[in-house]
Chains A and B, each alone.
Chain A
Amino acid sequence: GQQVMQIPQYQHVQEGEDFTTYCNSSTTLSNIQWYKQRPGGHPVFLIQLVKSGEVKKQKRLTFQFGEAKKNSSLHITATQTTDVGTYFCAGPGGTSYGKLTFGQGTILTVHP
């Protein structure tokens, strides 16, 4: 079945440093979504990328979708303590009913 893998599993940064998490799918994706889960919280939808090579920005967050639509990345510039949490990528399971396959997530810790 489809697999979605993320690296790194953990990332510890000093406040102000940059952070990147990478997501790879075993199959070509029609789109990819990113979610953030704060400690003890629930996943919150950040963004969806659809087009090959697409780049989208949300303030300090930059999301990319690979040309082959099998990989994606999330880059955070100048991290802040509010960025702490787990970042998940998720790809559709190939049906029209919208099942998502989540990656394992990258746990980001930001030291002040």
Chain B
Amino acid sequence: EPEVTQTPSHQVTQMGQEVILRCVPISNHLYFYWYRQILGQKVEFLVSFYNNEISEKSEIFDDQFSVERPDGSNFTLKIRSTKLEDSAMYFCASRYTGGDGYTFGSGTRLTVV
């Protein structure tokens, strides 16, 4: 079964530091997403990415966030200057078409101290 791979599994960072969360989506998928889940809460949409550009972003996805697909396999989320409230589980997801179910990665737990 193809998987979405995320690294690292856990990242601890100082407030104000930059972090890059990495994802390798399933190879033939065309739509890529970042979601986050604060402990005990629901899964929240951050951004969708299609055809090498952002297709939609939420209010959470402000100027401190950016996404890149630097090559044919990696998909990254950068948080420029982390805040305490950025502490959450960040999930990458992909799908082949816009109507399929998502395949989520196992997530990166980001802790900002």
Contacts and interface: CB of A to CB of B under 8 A. Distances in A.
Interface of A: 31, 33, 35, 41-48, 88, 90, 93, 95-105
Q: Kindly name the residue among B100, B102, B106, B107 whose own CB sees the greatest number of chain A CB atoms within 10 A.
A: B102
Interface stretch (B13-21, B37-45, B63-71, B80-88): B37-45
B25 interface: no
B1 to A, nearest CB: 11
Interface in B1-59: 31, 33, 41-45, 48, 50, 55-56
Given A42-B91, A93-B45, A100 B102 contact: yes
Contacts of A104: 41-42
A97 B50 contact: yes
Contacts of A99: 33, 45, 48, 56
Nearest to A45: B101
B42 A103 contact: yes
B106 A98 contact: no
Contacts of A97: 31, 48, 50, 55-56, 98
A43 B42 contact: no
Contacts of B56: 93, 95, 97, 99
A43 B44 contact: no
Contacts of A90: 43
A28 B99 CA distance: 16
B69 to A, nearest CB: 15
Given A35-B101, A99-B48, A102-B44, 4 more contacts: A42-B105, A45-B102, A97-B48, A98-B48
Contacts of A45: 101-104
Given A45-B103, A95-B55, A100 B45 contact: yes
A44 B107 CA distance: 12
